[in-house]
Every structure is written in structure tokens, then in C-alpha cells.
Structure 1
Amino acid sequence: MADTMRGVYTNLTGIRRSVFREVAKICYKLDAQGESTQELDKEFDELPYKILPGDVATYRESVFLERAIISERIRLAMGLPLSSMDRPERVSEGFEKAANSDEVFYEPPLINVIKFACNACKDNVYEVTNACQGCLAHPCREICPKKAISFRDKKAYIDQDACVKCGMCFKTCPYHAIHHHVRPCADACGMHAIGSDEHGRADINYDKCVSCGQCLINCPFGAIADKSQIAQVIWSIARGEEVIAAVAPAFVGQFGGKGNVGKLREAFKLLGFSGVEEVALGADLCTCQEADDFLDEVPDKLPFMGTSCCPAWSVMAKREFPEHADCISMALTPMTLTARMIRMQHPDAKIVFVGPCSAKKLEAMRKSVRSEVDFVLTFEEMAGMMDAKGIDYLSLEDDNKSDFDVASTDGRNFAVAGGVATAVVNAIHRRYPDREVNVVNAEGLDDCRKMMKDAVKGKYPGYLIEGMACPGGCVAGAGTLVAINRSAAAVKRYAKRSPHVNATENSYRMLIPVLERGFTKQDEDLEVSESMEATKGTAE
């Protein structure tokens, strides 16, 4: 799976973050200046010209095309659908409806292809490059099973109509002169959900998509983007509602520094949030729940058990292996458990999950979760809000509170691949030190699928299996800001600072039966169908 641009600040990164920043600036005016949504329409309509001034194209053949693409990104950042291509439409069209209802955001699809931004990349095509030496042996021609290779002007030539894409020529050429073109977004998609439309542009099969977001961070043309709830969060704050952030374990180092939580709390306070909680608390509870389930069910009731915290992996496993759907843990995810804990003390609060993940937006769309989590923002979207307010994270004062630091080392390490399984095993060993627990884990949906196939075939009897849709774990999610290796190292350093090593040391674990209340097997059965429905739609 491709992942060549992570941690590299590109022109595309700058455009994406400029859109988030400028949209947030306008939305904050509702609070600061009391402007109505109607008065802000003009500002949104003029925003593409502010982000990209002048009359000379910077990256593409036309400045008008560049602004049109930025316009679509602005709409998605406001939680609106892409514009209709068959009639005139302003950037701000539908803005007032989005300001007064979250239903616009929940209209599928979540992940969108901006068609006129797509480069119509060649996909799964073998072509001969200038490196061909026209060698005497002609091994590429000799090995081709369909005789698709001939020589023209002493250079190899591939007949695309006859080629069956077997790759034998690619593997055989001694000069590596044959190039395999793959569409970057399709190469990154572990669900194989991206093909081509009639014009050769990327097209998402929403029956397969699980909203992992890997396509949108691997498209070098910025043609794929997901909807955001930046506007809805800011307007909730502007209305004077109690808005509490639940921050995913992967937050460490995303905004600068080395995991200074006091600075983070201060930054969120300046943004208008009423409070901040650490989702690693919910990770501790998820750990205890999965440890109990494993002990109760494996291997007597289930041949193996898969972890539940990654929604993209969970949906893929249940969708593609329905006869083994029960083998994926029914434990509530850390996001949902943390939200339920918050709601016990703040029943009327709006809860915002802040994390690295596009798929968490999909999870929050499920009927069984929407009542707990009101909004989902990525770290990149949150950084846009900080930029809009001119917040310099590293210059903030530490509030020196310690009540945030109650999650365990194991709970905080959920953000890194292998961390979930390690936490569950450690929790089991607290109760049964001599119990042998075999573990296998996979990163990336292609490898997760292979792992699940092997498990179904009986290769992992009695195993705990951990799936992570993003290679590297949550620190590699689509909404992260820094390089994966740096983020993983920062999370591990921060995790070691916890006064608790194991999830079982978390006093909140006694709340698990209460937090589970109301979540039934029927909710679990709805998970796949709801997720499929949420991803369906067209981006025409």
C-alpha cells in the first residue's frame, strides 16, 4: 500500500489546511460579531479568491479550475455535498441549512471524489520506458504469455489490447525498463473500492468503501476529500452550548511539543470548549471488556476473537466474513465508552471526538452511536481551528492539572499498531498470569483481510487478532499532521509517563456494565448495514 507523502508538507497540504483555517475564521464570526448565517454567505462565496488570489494558475493549467476545486473543498469543509455539475451553484448554497441541522453532514457519501480535480491516472497499466535498451535476448517478449510485446525501432512495445496485466515482463526486464502504472488512490485502498469512470477518473464503489481515508491522503492531486464538521462544532460553541472534546490517544505531538496535556487543555479552552477528556480512558475500559470477553468465549464459544476499536477493520471483517462476524469483539469502542462516561456527568453536553481517523466519522453516523458522539473532527481540522484563532500551541501555559492523567500506559498505546492486543493480553495476565494468549496483528486492510482469511481457515486457533486499517495504527490515520514514526515514538514516550501501567488499574472500569447498558446484539447487527448505507451515494 502506498504511503509516500506522509509527514511531508506539500502544496496540497497547504491548500487543505488553508481551507480549514479560512472556513473556521468565518464560522467564528457568528460568535465574535454576532453575524447571521445569511450575512456570511458572501464571505464564503469570495473565499476561493482569498485563498487563491491573482489571475495566474499556480499548480494547474487554469486559475479558474484551481478555484473551482478549492470551492468544492470549502463545501465539504462546511459539511455540505459537492456542487451539482449540471446547474449554477454558489459555494455557500445550502449553508444556512447546514448551520441549523446536522442532517446535511450525514447525507452520504462521506468520502468524495472531486471529479474535475482527478488526473485520470493510468491504473494497472504496463508500459515500456526510455530505459529500454532493445537488448538481444528480448526476455520480455519471450516470456509474455499473450505475445503482446513486439519491437519497434529496436525498442519493446506493449499492445495494451492484448496485455493481460500479468506483470511477467515487468519482473523479467534486466534493465527495469517496464513501468507498472497504478492509480495512487486505488493502490492505497485496501478495500479495492476504487476504479475508473467512463472518463478514466477515480470512482469509489461505496458498497465496498469503509471510509478509512487512505485514498484521500494518497491522491497527489487532492481530488478526494471527506466532509468535515468544523462549522457545526464552532456554531455549537457560538450558541453557548456545553461542548466537550474527547481526544484520541494519537494526539501526542500532533500540534507540536512532546505531549504537554496542559497546553492542549488551554488551547481547547481558547477555542471555546468547555472541557477535554482523554479517550485513552475509554481504551482502558475497552481493554477490560475485551479481556473478559476473550476469557469467557475463546476457544469454547468462538475459535478466535478480533479487536473492535478500529471501525474500518471491524466493518470490513464483518462485511466480508459474515459467518464469522461474531468473532469480532462486541466491546464498545474507546470513543463511545469515553463519550458515555462524559455524558453521565454532562447529560446535555455536545461531545466532539478529536482524532486521526476518517472512519470514526462513519462510526459516529451509526444510529447506535450518534446519540453519544455529536461531532467528529480530525487533528488536521482541529489545527485549522487553532490557526483561525491564532493559537500558538507551544507558547501556551501549562494549567498544571493532573486529573487528565489517569489513563494507563496500555490505554494510551492503543494509538500504535499492536498496542490494543498488548493491552488486552496484559489485562488477562493480571488475572491469570500463567494463561498463554497467542496474538497476531495486521496493519492495512489488505493484510487484515489475509489475516482474517487465515483465521477462518483455522490457522489461528484460540488467538486474539488485532486489525488496524491504517499501516502503523491510528497514528497513521488520514487526519494526522506528522510523520508516522515520529507520532508513534511520541505516543510511546507519553504513555510511559502514566502512573498506571495496566488498564485494570483504572478505577473507571467498574462503570463498564453501566456504560454497556442499552447496547444490544441488535445494535451490533445493524453496524454493517448502517455503515454500508452511510458510505453509499454519488459524487456526480
Structure 2
Amino acid sequence: MESINLNTKILDTYKMKLFNELIKAIWSEEFDDIDNIPKKVLDKSVYNEFGEEVILNLMRIVMGLDPIDKIDETIKEMLNKAMCTKEISTPIISVISQVCNHCVNKEDGKECLVKEKHINCNKDNTCNSCGGCIRECSLGAISDKIQFIPILKLLKDKKHPVYATVAPSFVGQLGNDVTPGKLRSALKKVGFKDMIEVALAADILTVKESYDYCNHIKENKEECFITSCCCPIWISLIKSSYPEIVDNISKSVSPMIACARIIKVLNEDAKVVFIGPCVAKKKEAIAEDIKGAVDFVLTFKELEEIFKALDIEADKEVEENRIESSALGRIYAHAGGVSKSIEECVKKINPKANFKAITFQGAKDCKAGLEKVINKDIDVTFVEGMGCIGGCVGGPKRILETEKGKSFVQEYSKETNIKTPFENINVIQFLAKMDMKKIETLRSEDREKLLGLFNRDIRL
């Protein structure tokens, strides 16, 4: 049997083609020919090379189902199961093990370190779903499950209003001319009730965490540091490798979770779909202590394919713009943004407060940096950790190159006249709905009203 070229990532490419065709069939409700989708999409040589089981498992991943060793269901039967899915199961990242027989490493008698690392991660419960193994697997045998099929059922059933929340790194990802307002219109065409920027929740959390920081420094006399809480890879790294500093993690949920909870406070019947560049967010959404806020997660690349399948040209949609977030909430998308946002708000609360921050980005830098902080080789009071180099704009499912994504975010942050969360009328209006008349009440007893929504006490 001839091995497939190692560098083609051939299954990753075909996965998205299968996904595209499946969306079209479900959207148009043409189910009769659905079992023939693989043969319609795949080159005959590819289908024959990998065999039916591999292709059916690829279809399972596209539907959000786990790959299995023996498949005795038709694609239509698998689809019925997928459309009834209420929650995507772990592991978020799966291996189609039969594909590994086609790898040239196998032919050369070498062990595949990528596959072994992934399996060991899952066995040891240390997999943080960073997506590194997906990127390294040359054939595309390792993949994160796509969650759009149950989302599509929600959208078509219309029993619940379904909101799309977009990560702060969304700017420019779907095209240079796709403004936030045009993206909102495009998502509504798919069936979403509305699009909300997660940067709005970042604004609220920035204020909360700034008050938390000031209280923490006052109580601990600057002898103890706090770390950021928005990156699930960072949180997972601390829990698995540095459990002694778990208590140093900020006692807040991530902006993704906060945004979903805000929506559900205002509309308890709502369903929420988060869209971003991150595979690890798929795992965070179903973490035991915070699940139920975000119902499903999509990536930018998946959304791009959805628009292609439905012939939606986002750059040609009508402009439906509104200002939701401050400049500081928007820069959460790139490394250093969280630190800058909290520092500016801390200084607004207490101009004399001591704020010494450092940012680590990428797993290697995060580990090396944490070692130095723990050993007190670095004198800091706030540590920002980003699992991806560049921060969220460098996420594994980004569409733009990291630096280009960062430049879009920086430009977007400059466009708004709302410079800090304290000036954001949307934050003030939300607090008013919680019977909190002004932001300053966040430091009073009224602050307790928000703790149930936004607090997270991470445990091992």
C-alpha cells in the first residue's frame, strides 16, 4: 500500500469538504442522498486508499461524534444521533487510529510521537486541548470535533433564541472588509438571534478584577501575585504542573463564560454559541464547575466554511453596527492586552496602587516564566498567561497570521471613543438591570450580586 505524502494534511482538507457538503444537505433538507456524500466529495483514490471506516469516522468527527473502531450505522443514522446531541463529550480532540497505518513513520518503523503524546495526555487527564497535536499530525488523523450539527438543529427548530458570541480576536478574521456590523448580519442570516462581542464581558470582568486586585494587594501587602484567568490552556497548565499556585489564579470566570451568563440572565431561554480561534474553549465550555453557560463552540475556520456552504458573502452583507465594548476590552485578544486593561483600571481606582505585570505566551514561555515567578526570580504582582504565541490572535484555528490579526485588533481598539470600561454605557446598563446603579458599587456590598455570575474558585 502506497503511503500518502506526509506533508499533505490530506484528511484535514477533506474534513472541511465533507463538512461543507453536509451543511448544504441539512440546510436544504435533502437527506435522501446523504449517505453518498463521501463518494461525492472525495477523490476515488483517496477513498480507496483509506477505506470506508476511516472516511465514516471522519464524518463522525464532522458531526461532533467520537471516532469508533467498528461502525455499523449509515451516515443518515449517525446524523440523527448527532442532531440530538445536547453536549459534546470529551475528549474534544480525537484520533482516527486506522489512519496511522498510512503514515510514513509507520513504514519506516518509527513511533509517532504526536499520536503517543496525545494518547498519554488523555490518559493522564492532562490534555488541555491546545491543538498542538492537530497542527503536528501531517496526515490529519488527529482532529477536534465540529459542533455545528446540533447548533444547526437549534437554529432550524427555532425553539430557543440562539446568540453568537465572538471572541475579541474576531476582527478581520473573515475578511478585510467584514466589519463587526456585516458579520452580525451574516450570522443572523445563518439563523442566530444576534451577535454579541465577548469584549463587552471583558469590560465587566476588567472592572471586577481591578477591584479584586486592589483588595488583594491591600490584604497581602503586595507579597503575593495574581494570574489572569481567561486562557483555558494557562489554567490547565497551572492545575497540572503548578498546583501550589492555583489559589493565585484570579477568582473570575473567563470573558467567554461571563458573556454567556450575561445573555442568559437577560434571556433565560437563550442558547449561546461561542465563536473564536481556540480549540481549548471547546473543553472549557463543558468544565464541570462552569458548564451550562456556553452551549456549543465553533472556530473561525468552521464559521468560514459555514458561510461558504450557505453562499453567504459576509463582506457584502448590510451594515448592522453598534458599539458594545471599550478599547481595553477589545485588546484582550492579543498578548499583553489583559495586563494593560487591568492596570489602567487599577490606576483609575487607586492611582497609587503598585502594579507590576509580566506576560508569558506559548506553552514553553509560560512554563519557564512560571518557574521564575514561583522562585521569586521575577518581582511581579500580576502574571498574564496566554497558551498561544501572540495571545488569542495566535490561536490554532485563526484564519489570519498572528501579526496581521493583532494589527486588526489594535486598529479596532483605536476606533472607539469608549476608552475604558468605566465609560461603557453597556456595562452601566447591565449593572442597572442587576439593581446596581453605578460601577463604583462594585466595591461595596452590592458587589456580592455579581459574584454568583462571575466568580470562579478553581480547585484541583
Give the structure-1-normalised TM-score. 0.73
Match of 1:56 among 25, 40, 45: 45
Identity %: 30
Aligned-partner Cα distance in 2 for 1:486–1:184? 32
Look at both structures and tell me which one has the larger radius of gyration over its CA atoms: 1
Secondary structure of 1:441's partner?
strand
Alignment counterpart, residue 385 of structure 1, candidates 293, 303, 306: 306
2:148 matches 1:230: yes
Equivalent residue number for residue 307 of structure 1:
228
Amino acid at match of 1:281: L
Taking structure 1 as reference, are residues 390 and 111 closer, same or farther at Cα in structure 2, changes over 3 Å only?
same
Instruction: Give per-residue Cα distances to partners, 1:361-408, cap 9 Å, x unaligned.
Output: 111102333221111111111122211210111222213x42xx1201
Identify the residue that residue 517 of structure 1 maps to in structure 2.
452
- In the alignment of these two chains, the number of paired residues is 432
Matched residue type, 1:262: G
Q: Give the residue type in structure 1 aligned to 2:23.
A: A
Unpaired runs of 5+ in structure 2? Answer: 1-6, 435-441
Structure 1 282/256 Cα, relative in aligned 2: closer, same or farther at 3 Å?
A: same
Matched residue SS, 2:164:
strand
Question: Where in structure 2 are the equivalents of 1:325-404 lying within 5 Å?
Answer: 325-399=246-320, 401-402=321-322
Deviation (angstroms), 1:99: 1.6
Match of 1:194 in 2: 117
Q: 1:464-506: CA deviations, max 9, x gaps?
A: 1111111111112122222222111111111211221223322
Deviates more, 1:487-496 or 1:291-300: 291-300
How far apart are the structure 1 equivalents of 2:192 and 2:72?
Answer: 38
Contact 1:406 1:500 in 2 (8 A): no
Q: How does 1:353-502 map to 2 (within 5 A)?
A: 353-399=274-320, 401-402=321-322, 405-502=323-420
Q: Matches of 2:15 and 2:325 in 1, distance apart?
A: 33
**1:277 Cα deviation after fit:** 0.6
Structure 1 counterpart SS, 2:308: helix
Letter in 2 for 1:82: P
Q: Distance in 1 between matches of 2:248 and 2:372?
A: 13
Residue number in structure 2 paired with 1:266: 185
CA distance in 2 between partners of 1:66 and 1:502 (Å) = 56
CA separation in 2, counterparts of 1:12 and 1:228? 14
The partner residue of 2:166 within 247, 253, 262 is 247
1:117 paired with 2:126, answer no
Matching of residues 147-166 of structure 1 within 5 Å: none
Give 2:79's aligned residue.
95
Give CA deviations for 1:158-203 in whole Å, capped at 9, x if unaligned: xx9xxxxxxxxxxxxxxxxxxxx996848xxxxxx81689xxxxx8
Quote how far apart the aligned CAs of 1:95 are.
3.0
- Unmatched 5+ stretches in structure 1: 1-7, 128-159, 161-180, 187-192, 198-202, 529-540
Aligned counterparts of 1:396 and 1:9: Cα–Cα separation in 2: 34
Provide the aligned C-alpha RMSD in A: 2.9
CA 1:364–1:121 in 2, change beyond 3 Å: closer, same or farther? Answer: farther
Q: Distance in 2 between matches of 1:429 and 1:249?
A: 23
**Which of 289, 299, 306 is matched with 2:208 structurally?**
289
Q: Are positions 1:318 and 2:239 aligned together?
A: yes
Per the TM alignment, residue 354 of structure 1 is displaced from its structure 2 partner at its CA by 0.9
The structure-2 alpha-carbon separation of the partners of 1:9 and 1:484, relative to structure 1 and needing over 3 Å to count, comes to: farther
User: Aligned residue for 2:37?
Assistant: 47
**Pairs within 5 Å for 1:48-87:** 48-53=38-43, 55-57=44-46, 63-65=48-50, 68-85=53-70
Counterpart AA for 1:275: D
**Per-residue deviation, residues 87-108 of structure 1 (Å, max 9, x unmatched):** 64544554323322324x22x2
Letter in 2 for 1:102: K
Among 188, 195, 198, the residue aligned to 1:279: 198
One-letter amino acid of the counterpart of residue 48, structure 2:
V
Counterpart Cα distance in 2 of 1:12 and 1:371: 32
Tell whether 2:176 aligns with 1:257: yes
Instruction: Find runs of 4+ consecutive structure 1 residues off by over 6 angstroms.
Output: 181-184
Deviations 1:228-258 (A, max 9, x none): 2100111001111211111111111111125
